[in-house]
Structure 1
C-alpha cells in the first residue's frame, strides 16, 4: 500500500472513530427515553378472543404487548408497503423521502407528507415533539439511536405496540380486540387495511364515528396494494365494496373477578386467553343481575359452570354484581372459604360404598344419637327412625350421614380427600366435618362433584387453555361414583318452572350452620354447575335454605346450557341385588323368616354388608339395631314395607321452604297415608281439594293435613 492510500485509510478510520465518539457522547448526553414508560396494559379474553375485561396501564391506556409473529402477515405487508417500503434497507431515515417532503413543504407552504420512516414514527411516539425543523432533527437523531441499539424486527415490534388508534387505544393488538373482538393475528384483509391507515389520523378516521371517511381511507390502502400487485384487481374490487363491520361491545366487564385474579397470577402476560365462553358468561351475568332483586339485602351469589370432559371453566361469576358495594361485589365468593353445610354428604356415602360398609339400601338409624360428645340434629329437629341409605342421602338427613362417617372414620375420609388434592380447612379430623364443620370453596366443591361424571376421578379445573393431559386422582371408585350419581339424580327438582332442556342432573344442596351459606351443586353427564348464595360478611339469613335460595339459580343456569350429548352408563362391578330388611344382607343369605322387607339395592360386586349400628359396628343378627328398635317403640312407629313411617306426614313440602309466585302457581297435596281420607287446611281454613294455590297467599303460610283426629302442619313462605 503506498503512502497516499495509507493517508486515506487513516483519515477514514479517524473519521469513523470520531463519529463513534460523537454518537457515544450524544447517547450519554441525550439517551433514548424508556420505550414503554407507562408499562403495558392487560386484557383478559374469552375462549374465542372477545374481551372479558381490560385493564389500562399507568396512564389508563389500553396497550396489549404483541410481537411481529402474532400479527396478521397481511397487515405487516400492507403496513410496510404503505408506510415504509424500504424499512429493512435504510438506517432509520430515508433521505429521499425527507427531501421530497421538504420540497413539497417549500412549494405548498404546508406539510404535505412527513417523510417519516417507521423508525422515525417510533421515535416520535416515544418522545413527542413539535412539528418544527428542530423537532424533526431531534426525531431523526432518535431514529438513528433506535437503529443503533435495536434490530429492525424490534423496531417494527415497537411500532405495532405504540401506534395510536384513537381514544386510549394503542397498538394493533388492542385495536383488533376493541374494534373487531379478535386477536391481531386473525385480522382479515379489510380489517388489516383499516388498521394500517388509522394511526395517521386516529380521531378523524375512527370507524365508529366516521364510517364513510374510514371506509374511504381503508380503500385507499387497498388500491395502493393493488397498484403494487399485492392484491389482484378482482379481489380489490370485492374488498372495497365491503362496509366496515365492528364488534358490538357488551357495555360491561364480564367475569371481572376472574380477570382480576388472572392479572395478579400472570403479571407478565398482557393478553390472557381463558376457557370462558363469552356468550354463556354474558347470559349468566344477566341471570344473576335479574336474580339480585329477589334476594335479601346485602346478599351476593357466585356460580361456576364446568365442561366435565376437559375440566374447563365455561363461566365464572364471583359475585352477583362487581359494582354493588352493598353486596360486597369486590369479594370473589368462588374462592372464598366458607362452611360447605351438607354438600360433603354424597362423598361420605360414596366412601361407605367403597369400603363395603353400606350399599344403597342399607338400613340406617335416624334417631337422636350421641357419637361421644357430638350430638347431631336434623335441620327441622325431627327424626324419622329407620331409613335406607339412598333415602337418607336424598333427604339430607344428618344423623345417618354421621353414622356412616363414624363407621368409615373421619380420618379415612380426610385422607381420601387429601389424596385427591381436595382442600378442606379444619384443624383435626372429626365427625362435624360431615355436616359442614370445616371450610372449603365453591371451586373445590365443583372439582369434587365433577368427579361424579368422571368415573370418580378428580383433576384440576382450568381457566387457561391447556394442551397437556391432566393428572387424575381417585376420590371414589367408578362404581360408587355412579351409585351416588344415580341416587342424587333421582331427587325431584325444586318447585319451579319446567326446565327448557330436560337432562339427568345429580344435585345436592347445603345450608351452613347459622344460615350463613347456601349451596347447590349439580352434575349432568356433560356439565357441572355450582352455586353459592349468602352474605360475604357472614351475617345470617334466617329462614332460608340451600334448596330455596341456591337450587333455583342452579337449575336456571342449567337451562342456559346446550343439551348433554351422552349418558353415564352403569359400570362393570355394579350389581342390582335383592336384599332384606332389617338385616341388610342379600336375600339369598337371609332366612325367609327374618326377611321382613325385600328391596333391590345397587351393590359393588354383590357385597351386601349387614345393618350398621349407630356406634359404627355391624348388627350381628338380622334384626333392627337395639337403639333404633327402642326409639321406634317409644315413638309408636312401625316401619312399613315402603320404608315410610306410619306416622302422618305431608309429602312434597316441609317447614322452611320458600316459593316464588313467578315460578310456580300451585302444588298438589298428598300424605304418606294413601288409603285414608285427608282434610286439608291452609292458614287453618279448609280448602275443598288437595291443591295448594300459591297465588292466593303471601308470606308465612301454614299447610295442615288431618286424618280423623291426627293432624300435621308444615309452615312455608310465599314471595
Structure 2
C-alpha cells in the first residue's frame, strides 16, 4: 500500500511539474521574430544587381532555404548541435555534461547551447556565459520550439547570426566575405561560414585573417571526423586561400535600381540581364576612359519583340562628380538632333507624299522668316529621298515636315509613347531637326517601333509591370522602307560589313548631344553622349562619337546577329521610273531662284592682298567663280567662300551655277 501511495505521489508530482513547465513555457513572452532585411534589386533570372543596407547600416538580407548549399546545413548542425532535429530546444545530455564539467573545474568548460538557444540569444541580444542568461535562453528556446518549426528556427539563425562588423546573416556574410551567393559553397567556404559566428569580431577576415583561417581549418577537421566530408576534402580545403578582406556588395545598374526602390522598399525584379548589364557598364567605362571627365554617356539595349530593357546604363561612373554620374541620362530630356528624321520620312511614305526613290530638292528655301540650312551649308540640288535621309540633309526633311504638318508628327510621337518637351507654344518646322526634348529611353522606344514594323510598344523594365497593346504609328511597308534606307548607311570603321544594322546618328544644336540609335534582327539600342549640364561639346558629332559605341553595344549583345527582316509583301520595290507620277518627284517642279552675289556689294572698295569673302543667294550648286572672265574656283557647293584675288584696281566678279544662271558685281581692290 505504501509503495502504491508513493508511486501515485511521484506520478502526481511529475504531472504537476510537467503542467507547470508547460504553463511556464506558454507564459514566455516571445521577442519580435520578423526583422528588417535589405531592399534588393534583381535581374530577370533572380541574380542580385544591387542591395541597400537597412536603417541602422547593417547588411542583413533575406534568405530562403533553397538559396543555401546543403553542405552548409550539414556542417552547421554537425558542428553546433548534432541533436538539433531531436531535442525540444534544450539538449539534456549537453546540459548535464556542461554542468558536470563546470562543477568539476569550477567554471564553464564547454557550452550546452543548442542552435535554438543561440537563436534565443540573438533575438534578445543576451549574454552567453552567465547562468542567469543561460536559463533565460533555455526558457525562450523551449517557447520557440513550441511555436516554430525546426526549419523556421534555422531560418532565424541564418538571418541573424553575426559575421563581424556590420554583416549579419549567412547571405550577407557569403557576399561580403566570399563575394558570392551561398547557393554553391566549397567545403572550405562552408566551414568558414560555420566558424565566424562563434567569434565574429576576433575572426573577421579583413582584420584577423589568420584567426579566421585557423577557425575554418578546425571546422574542416571536425567535419571529417564526423563523416560530413572526407579527410581528403578537409585537407584540400585547408590549402584553399582564406579571405583577407571584404568584397564590395554588387552595385550593378545603380540608376535603374534607384528607380525601382523609389517605387517602394523591398525586393524588385527587373527585366535586365545581369551579364549584359555588366558588359555594357564595362564598355561604357572603357569607352570614356581618357575623355573629358565632364562628359557622360548613356546606353539602353532592349529586345525588339518583347520590348524588355536588357541593359540600361545611366552614366559611365555612378560616383563621378565632374561628370555628374549620379544623373541618369537615360531619363534626361535632350534635343535629339537628326534622330527624328526617320519617323518623318516614314510618315511621308505612309501619306504617299514620297518613296525612297522619289526625287526631292535640296535647294535654298524659306518658310516665312525661317530659312533652314544644311549642317554643312552646302546645297545638293535634286536627289533621291533615300540619299537625302542617308546624308541627313535638313532642307528635304523640312519640306516633308511642312507638307505633313508639325502637329501630325507630334501626334505620331505621342502614339509611340514619347512625351516631347516643348519650349513655348505650338511645334514648328524645326521640330524635325531636334527642336523638342526627348529622353534616350523614349527614342529607343520609338526606334523599337520602326524595327517592329511600325508597331509601338512601351519599353518594360520592371517585371511587375503589365505589357500594353501595340499601337500602329506606321504601316509595315513604310517602317521597312525606313529601315532599309538606314541599313544602307556605311558602318563605322571596324564595325563589320554593311547591311546588318539600320541606324541613324544625330547631333543637337551647338554640339550639346551626340546620338546613335539603331537595330539589328533582334535588338534595338541607343547611345547618348554629352554633358549633363547641357554645355556644348566642341567637335562632338553623333556619327563620330556615338555610332561606334552603338555598334559595340549591338555586337556585344548578339555575337551572331539575326538578319534584318525581309520586306512585307505589300512593299513597293521599283525604281523611280516605275513609280506613279506623283511619287516620282516630291511636290511641284521648282524653278531655281535667281542667282545673286550679295557680298561684296556692287561698287565696293576692298583692301587687296588677301582672300575676299563672297556670299551668294539662290541658284543651284555647284558654282564657278570668275574674275574678269578667268576661272578662280570651281565646283563650289557652299553659299559662302573666300575668293583668292591678286592685283589692284577694278575687277568684275562673276558666278555661274549648275543651271547656267549667273550673277556679277564690280569692285575695286585698293
* Both proteins in one fold, TM over 0.5: yes
2:126 match:
129
Cα shift at 1:360: 0.6
1:570 match:
566
Superposed CA deviations along residues 61-83 of structure 1, whole A, max 9, x for unmatched, are 22221222433344334433433
8 Å CA contact retained: 1:51, 1:178: no
Q: Equivalent residue of 2:348, what SS?
A: helix
Instruction: Give the number of aligned pairs.
Output: 607
Tell me: CA distance 1:99–1:470, structure 2 relative to 1, closer, same or farther (3 Å). farther
Structure whose CA Rg is larger: 2
8 Å CA contact retained: 1:275, 1:462: no
Among candidates 570, 574, 593, match of residue 631 of structure 1: 593
8 Å CA contact retained: 1:352, 1:404: yes
**Are 2:2 and 1:40 aligned?**
no
Among candidates 47, 63, 72, match of residue 66 of structure 1: 63
1:94 match:
91
8 Å CA contact retained: 1:363, 1:612: yes
**Are 2:609 and 1:612 aligned?**
no
Q: Equivalent residue of 2:322, what SS?
A: helix
1:171 match:
169
Superposed CA deviations along residues 165-191 of structure 1, whole A, max 9, x for unmatched, are 333322222233334444333445554
CA distance in 1, matches of 2:26, 2:10: 24
Q: Equivalent residue of 1:116, what SS?
A: coil
Structure 1 segment 153-552 matched on structure 2, within 5 A: 153-187=151-185, 191-203=189-201, 218=216, 221=219, 253-269=251-267, 274-277=272-275, 279-291=278-290, 293-294=291-292, 298-308=294-304, 311-371=307-367, 376-380=372-376, 383-426=379-422, 431-463=429-461, 472-493=470-491, 498-499=494-495, 504-541=500-537, 544-552=540-548
Cα shift at 1:332: 1.0
CA distance in 2, matches of 1:612, 1:412: 19
CA distance in 2, matches of 1:133, 1:477: 81
Cα shift at 1:486: 2.4
Cα shift at 1:364: 2.3
8 Å CA contact retained: 1:51, 1:181: no
Cα shift at 1:636: 6.9
Superposed CA deviations along residues 235-257 of structure 1, whole A, max 9, x for unmatched, are 77777776669999579844322
Q: Equivalent residue of 1:129, what SS?
A: coil
> What TM-score do the two structures reach when normalised by structure 2?
0.75
Superposed CA deviations along residues 469-496 of structure 1, whole A, max 9, x for unmatched, are 88544443443333222222333356xx
Superposed CA deviations along residues 176-221 of structure 1, whole A, max 9, x for unmatched, are 3334444333445554444333322345555677777756655655
Q: Equivalent residue of 2:62, what SS?
A: coil
Superposed CA deviations along residues 375-425 of structure 1, whole A, max 9, x for unmatched, are 544444554443321222222223322322333444443444444434334
Q: Equivalent residue of 2:397, what SS?
A: helix
> What TM-score do the two structures reach when normalised by structure 1?
0.71
Q: Equivalent residue of 1:609, what SS?
A: helix
CA distance in 2, matches of 1:238, 1:501: 51
2:666 match:
none
Cα shift at 1:134: 2.4
Q: Equivalent residue of 2:60, what SS?
A: coil
CA distance in 1, matches of 2:386, 2:270: 45
Tell me: CA distance 1:266–1:82, structure 2 relative to 1, closer, same or farther (3 Å). farther
Cα shift at 1:359: 0.8
CA distance in 1, matches of 2:228, 2:271: 33
Tell me: CA distance 1:88–1:424, structure 2 relative to 1, closer, same or farther (3 Å). farther
Cα shift at 1:118: 1.9
